[in-house]
Amino acid sequence: MPMPKLAAFAIRRRALLAPLLAFLLTPFCLQPCRAEHYPDRAIKIIVPFPAGGPTDVAARLIAQSLSSKLHQSVVIENHVGAGGRIGAKLVATSAPDGYTLLLGGSNVNAIAGALYKDLGFDPIKSFAPIASICVDSMALAISPSVPAGTLHQFVQYARDNPGKLKYGAPPGIYTQFAGEFFKLKTGTDILFVPYKGGAPAITDVLGGHIEMVFNNKSTLLSLFREGKLKALAVTSDARWPELPDTPTMSEMGIPGFPSEVLFAVLAPAGTPPAIVEELNGAINEGLTSSEVRASFDALGIEPKIGTPQDLAAALARQAHEWKAVIDEIGIKME
């Protein structure tokens, strides 16, 4: 018996639509499929600054817990130079598969866009935010050999000795801008000495080769406690509980310093959402562990738990704050 024309047409239509539907649906299952067995090999965290500095410390604090949560090796690689841009560009141009991550934050993601015309990558759009690690703050530290015990005494000493004092920082990052902002606000002439990272600058101020640094609480607090460096002021909104006698910059009449330095993990843009979610969950879980919290407590800083959306908003806010500082200083880098 011949098949009715209507039924035959329906069968032919289904036969034609089936491949089209399969093609259209493929992109929607690609990302979960790609994340299904993630991770199946070692993960790299690129630190764009030398070992021993604040960024490196943050990376190593989370690497071990991240490894245990994901049951894979997590390797730290330091790719140093150009104010963090070399390491950041390496990650920005890597495959968006969750195996190459950036320990970024304020430096390469919130500041670089206001400073450089052509980075070879977009400090915001080239990355997928994963998770915040911690929020730190800075202090102005000077060598004990400097004859000043307070911020006002130091400013007066610097004014009386123009060009004699030196401060150190890697070029193009927040510690340099803090130093330049301080010079602008206090009308002092202090020579900038460039370093590859924060740790070598601190080594030289300890050795008496330079007199001053701005750096993070996580790296300076133990040196203050041991009397190896003198703390003159902190950039946070409130005094550090560990140094209740050290004033804030605002208290000393120097407002405008961004109060927070953010450290965070980011991946190349286009990383599948399922991988982003898995990494975010593993990092946040690690930040709640007693071991990681004890390490943060020893450094005097708090872990910062949140979503990728929270991190994106924090970076946008910091980009606005640091742009105001950079514009006021008038620095532009090629």
Q: Quickly state the pLDDT bin for 113 (edges 50, 70, 90).
A: confident
Query: Are 264 and 200 contained in the same domain?
Result: no
- So what's the pLDDT on residue 11? 47
Query: Are 166 and 215 contained in the same domain?
Result: yes
Instruction: Flag whether 33 is in a domain.
Output: no
pLDDT digits (tens, 9 = 90+) for 290-314: 888 888 888 888 899 999 999 999 9
CA angle 323, 80, 133 (to 5 degrees): 60
Q: For the domain that residue 222 is a member of, what is the CATH number?
A: 3.40.190.10
Copy the structure tokens of residue 251: 């208290």
Interval 37-51 mean pLDDT: 93
- So what's the pLDDT on residue 6? 46
Report DSSP letters for 162-230, one per residue: TTT-EEEE-TTSHHHHHHHHHHHHHT---EEEE-SSHHHHHHHHHTTSSSEEEEEHHHHHHHHHTTSSE
Whether the CA torsion 229, 230, 236, 239 is positive or negative: it is positive
Domain range spanning residue 169? Answer: 138-234
Query: Are 124 and 173 contained in the same domain?
Result: no
pLDDT digits (tens, 9 = 90+) for 245-255: 999 999 999 99
Type and span of the H or E element at 135: strand 127-136
In the chain, how many domains are there? 2
* Residue 14 pLDDT greater than 70, yes or no: no
Q: Is residue 295 within 8 Å of residue 128, measured between CB atoms?
A: no
Q: How far apart are CA 313 and CA 152, in angstroms?
A: 36
Cα 186 to the chain's mean position, in Å? 28
Q: Quickly state the pLDDT bin for 31 (edges 50, 70, 90).
A: very low
Q: How far apart are CA 206 and CA 214, in angstroms?
A: 13
Residue among 166, 215, 209 at smallest CA distance from 188 = 166
Instruction: Flag whether 29 is in a domain.
Output: no
Higher-pLDDT residue of 42, 199: 42
Query: Are 204 and 220 contained in the same domain?
Result: yes
- So what's the pLDDT on residue 151? 98
Burial of residue 100, with CB atoms counted within 10 A of its CB: 0-12 exposed, 13-18 middle, 19 or more buried:
buried
Q: Is residue 42 within 8 Å of residue 72, measured between CB atoms?
A: yes
Interval 103-108 mean pLDDT: 92
Q: How far apart are CA 136 and CA 56, in angstroms?
A: 13
Interval 46-71 mean pLDDT: 89
Q: How far apart are CA 269 and CA 85, in angstroms?
A: 16
Query: Are 265 and 313 contained in the same domain?
Result: yes
Instruction: Flag whether 58 is in a domain.
Output: yes
* Residue 333 pLDDT greater than 70, yes or no: no
Q: How far apart are CA 318 and CA 309, in angstroms?
A: 14
Q: For the domain that residue 91 is a member of, what is the CATH number?
A: 3.40.190.150
* Residue 210 pLDDT greater than 60, yes or no: yes
Query: Are 206 and 125 contained in the same domain?
Result: no
Query: Are 224 and 148 contained in the same domain?
Result: yes
- So what's the pLDDT on residue 170? 87
pLDDT digits (tens, 9 = 90+) for 75-94: 999 998 887 889 999 999 99
Instruction: Flag whether 248 is in a domain.
Output: no
